[in-house]
C-alpha cells in the first residue's frame, strides 16, 4: 500500500493513526500542500486523486492498483478488510455514537478550518488575521462544546469506553490543529484528558505530524 499524505494534514493524520492501530504498513508519499501552490494540484497527483486532496491510499485489489480517497471512507474500508484491531464497537447503536462523534469533527469543524478555506478567507474576502483566528476558534469551540457533552455520556479512557475508536482518530488531529491555533482547551476537560491519554499510545505517537519524514 502507498499512502499519499502530508505531515500536517489532519485527514492524513487520521489515516496514519488508523493504520498504526491496525498494524498496517504503507509506503509514505509526501504531497506538499503549500510548496509551488500545492503539489496536490499537480497533473501527476490529479491522476491519483481527482479531488486534489490528501490522503489517497493506493491498494492492490486482486492484482489491480486502486486508489481510495476521503479519510473516513479509507478507514471504513480498512475496518472491513482488516477487522483487527476494531475501530468501531460492534453494537449498531454504539457504532452510530462513535461515527457521530467522528462526523462532528469531520463535518462540523475540520471542513471550515482547513488550509483552503483559510486561504479563501484571506485572499477573496480580505479577512484580517485577527478575524481569521476568530473564525477558526468559533468553529472549533462550537464543535468541541458539542463533543464535550457527548463525551460526558460515553467516554472512558477514550472517546467511547476504554478502547480507541474512529472518534479518537478524528479527535486527536483536530486537537493538534486547535492547539496550533492557540484555542483555549480549558472548557473541554474530557477532550483534553482523552487527547493526553491517546498520546501515550504508540499508534498515536507514531502518527504525530512532527514524527513524519516530511515534517519541516
Closest approach of Cβ 75 to its own copies, in Å?
A: 10
Closest approach of Cβ 192 to its own copies, in Å?
A: 18
Closest approach of Cβ 103 to its own copies, in Å?
A: 4
CA-based radius of gyration for the chain: 17
Q: Which is nearer to its own copies, 26 or 100 (CB)?
A: 100
All residues at 6 or more sequence positions from 20 whose CB lies less than 8 Å from its CB, including other chains = 202, 203, 204, 206, 207
Q: Which is nearer to its own copies, 17 or 166 (CB)?
A: 166
Size of residue set near its own copies by CB under 8 A: 45
Q: Does 130 bind its own copies (CB under 8 A)?
A: no
| Long-range contacts (CB closer than 8 Å, 24 or more residues apart) made by 25-31 | 25/1, 26/1, 26/2, 26/57, 27/1, 27/2, 27/3, 28/2, 28/3, 28/212, 28/213, 28/214, 29/2, 29/3, 29/4, 29/5, 30/5, 30/6, 30/212, 30/213, 30/214, 31/4, 31/5, 31/6
Residue listed under C-alpha cell 498496517: 24
Helical segments of 28-165, H only: 43-48, 71-81, 92-103, 110-113, 115-124, 129-154
In the window 137-156, what residues touch its own copies (CB under 8 A)? 138, 146, 149-150
Closest approach of Cβ 11 to its own copies, in Å?
A: 9
From residue 58 to residue 87, what is the string marking binding to its own copies with x (rule CB under 8 A)?
Answer: -x-x----x-xxx-xxx-xx--xx------
Closest approach of Cβ 94 to its own copies, in Å?
A: 10
Q: Which is nearer to its own copies, 64 or 216 (CB)?
A: 64
Chain centre distance of CA 191: 15
Question: Cell for 174?
Answer: 483536530
Pick from 35, 41, 83, 107 the residue near its own copies by CB under 8 A. Answer: 107
Binding site for its own copies (CB under 8 A): 50-53, 59, 61, 66, 68-70, 72-74, 76-77, 80-81, 92-93, 95-97, 99-100, 103-104, 106-108, 110-112, 117, 120-121, 124-125, 127, 131, 134-135, 138, 146, 149-150
Amino acid at each position: 500500500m502507498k499512502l499519499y499524505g502530508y505531515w500536517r494534514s489532519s485527514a492524513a493524520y487520521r489515516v496514519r493513526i488508523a493504520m498504526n492501530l491496525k498494524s498496517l504498513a504503507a509506503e509514505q508519499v509526501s504531497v506538499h500542500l503549500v510548496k509551488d501552490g500545492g503539489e496536490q494540484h499537480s497533473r501527476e497527483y490529479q491522476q491519483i486523486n481527482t479531488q486534489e486532496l490528501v490522503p489517497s491510499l493506493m491498494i492492490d485489489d486482486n492484482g489491480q492498483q486502486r486508489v481510495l480517497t476521503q479519510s473516513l471512507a479509507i478507514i471504513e474500508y480498512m475496518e472491513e478488510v482488516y477487522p483487527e484491531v476494531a475501530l468501531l464497537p460492534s453494537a449498531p447503536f454504539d457504532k452510530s455514537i462513535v461515527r457521530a462523534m467522528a462526523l462532528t469533527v469531520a463535518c462540523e469543524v475540520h471542513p471550515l478550518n482547513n488550509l483552503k478555506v483559510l486561504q479563501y478567507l484571506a485572499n477573496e474576502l480580505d479577512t484580517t488575521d485577527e478575524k481569521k483566528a476568530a473564525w477558526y476558534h468559533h468553529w472549533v469551540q462550537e464543535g468541541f462544546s458539542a463533543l464535550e457533552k457527548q463525551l460526558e455520556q460515553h467516554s472512558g479512557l477514550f472517546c467511547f469506553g476504554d478502547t480507541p475508536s474512529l472518534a479518537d482518530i478524528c479527535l486527536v488531529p483536530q486537537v493538534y490543529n486547535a492547539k496550533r491555533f492557540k484555542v483555549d482547551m480549558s472548557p473541554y476537560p474530557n477532550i483534553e484528558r482523552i487527547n493526553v491519554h491517546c498520546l501515550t499510545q504508540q499508534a498515536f505517537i507514531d502518527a504525530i505530524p512532527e514524527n513524519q519524514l516530511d515534517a519541516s
